[in-house]
Amino acid sequence: MSTISVTAENSSWLLTGQPFEPEAHLADAARIAQAIAQLMDPEWREVVDEERREKRRIASLSRSGA
């Protein structure tokens, strides 16, 4: 299992005050999400997929007014 740690040397970008540009990072976020999904245990992936399907179903019902 790997861990991620943040040190003062590599966290200066957190303190710059520069605005975050989400549009510029959507492709990166999608690649990261895809990599995580590929590494997930198949049973856990099914749980996550089921939650997504349920959220889509609820959103669809709310849009249709049902």
5 is a domain residue: no
Is 57 within a domain?
yes
Please give the Cα distance from 48 to 34 (Å, whole number): 13
Asked if the structure places residue 49 within a domain, the reply is: yes
Parent domain of 58: 41-66
- Residue 8 located in a structural domain: no
Distance CA 40, CA 34 (A): 10
Instruction: Establish if 2 belongs to a structural domain.
Output: no
The model's pLDDT over 8-42, given as tens digits with 9 standing for 90+, comes to 555 555 555 655 566 667 788 888 888 888 888 88
**Six token digits for residue 41:** 């245990």
- CB-based contact 53:46 (threshold 8 Å): no
Question: For the segment 48-61, what is each residue's pLDDT rounded down to a tens digit?
Answer: 889 999 999 999 99
What total of structural domains would you count in the chain? 1
Question: Is 7 inside a domain boundary?
Answer: no
Residue 62 has pLDDT above 60, yes or no: yes
- The answer as to whether 28 is a domain residue is no
pTM for the model stands at 0.41
